[in-house]
Every structure is written in structure tokens, then in C-alpha cells.
Amino acid sequence: MKMNVHLNFQGNCAEAFDFYKKVFGAKNAFTMKYSEAPVGMPVDPDWKDKVMHTSIPLGDGLLMGCDAPKGRSTPMGGFQVSVESKDEAEVKHIYHALQEGGSVQMPMSPTFWSPLFGMCTDKFGVAWMVGMPGAERE
């Protein structure tokens, strides 16, 4: 089984995924805009340049997203995306890049379950947990 994360944005998905590509060092994202929808699919003319689907590889899975159509989107909340790496420098880089322009909920530090762990919300409203696996999980 494989699990992917899909994020719904309210019009700024392309900007968010450009940011995530830089943070995670991901290659080009697969992106489809609403203007590329099949003929006959109703698309708001103001929404044609928004993202219908995008994804970047992240570890063994995908980070996916879209600009949710008007009236079908809700603000971010109620979840956190968790990423971890055994590489301390990578963990620090990811955490510091994600929290820039956002907010810190838990500064990066050792915990009883992880040698290095922190929580932040990025400038797009996505909450993140970033850390290293504990000895029992390696």
C-alpha cells in the first residue's frame, strides 16, 4: 500500500507547488490546468488558468494538490503533513524553509521520540511535522 497527500488550495496552488519543489528539491511537477479539461466539462472562465491537478514526488509517495473549484473549498486545517529523513541536515533545511513566512508551533529540537523534530505552518496554511525517525523506527 502507498499513501499520498492531496492538498486543496483556494487559487494559489501553482505558487505553493513552486515553493514545495524548491523546499524538497523535487523535479518538475505534473500539472494540469482547468483549461485542459475535457470538452464539455464546465469550467469557470476565471478559473481556467488555475490548477486542476498537480503532483511532485516526495519520498516513496506523492504530494498532490489542486485549486478547489469555487464553492467546494474549505480553509486548511485539522491535519499536518509529516515528513522525516535520517539526514539531519536535510531535516533542518526542510523545516527552516517551510516555516519561512509561516509560523512555528514547535521549534526544532530533540524529543523523547525523535532526535530532531519540529512543527510549523507554511505561508500557504499547510501544517507540517518535520523530523528524524527514532532509534526504534529506523
Question: Looking at the structure, do residues 9 and 63 belong to the same domain, yes or no?
Answer: yes
What is the rounded distance in angstroms from the CA atom of residue 50 to the CA atom of residue 70?
11
What is the rounded distance in angstroms from the CA atom of residue 16 to the CA atom of residue 47?
17
Domain that holds residue 92: 81-137
Beta strands in 21-102 (DSSP E): 30-33, 51-58, 61-67, 81-84
What is the rounded distance in angstroms from the CA atom of residue 66 to the CA atom of residue 54?
6
| pLDDT score at 136 | 67
Boundary-marking domain end, from 24, 39, 67: 67
Q: Is residue 73 part of a domain?
A: no
Quote the pTM value. Answer: 0.90
% of the chain at pLDDT higher than 70: 96
**Which residues, listed in sequence order, are joined to residue 84 by a DSSP beta bridge?**
131
Boundary-marking domain end, from 67, 91, 120: 67
The per-residue pLDDT for range 49-98, each reduced to its tens digit, is: 999 999 999 988 999 999 988 776 677 778 999 999 999 999 999 999 99
Question: Looking at the structure, do residues 86 and 60 belong to the same domain, yes or no?
Answer: no
For residue 28, name the pLDDT band (cuts at 50, 70, 90).
confident
**Which residues, listed in sequence order, are joined to residue 67 by a DSSP beta bridge?**
9
Boundary-marking domain end, from 45, 67, 89: 67
Question: Looking at the structure, do residues 123 and 99 belong to the same domain, yes or no?
Answer: yes
Question: Looking at the structure, do residues 59 and 88 belong to the same domain, yes or no?
Answer: no
Question: Looking at the structure, do residues 50 and 103 belong to the same domain, yes or no?
Answer: no
Domains of the chain: total: 2
What is the rounded distance in angstroms from the CA atom of residue 131 to the CA atom of residue 7?
21
Cell, residue 42: 464546465
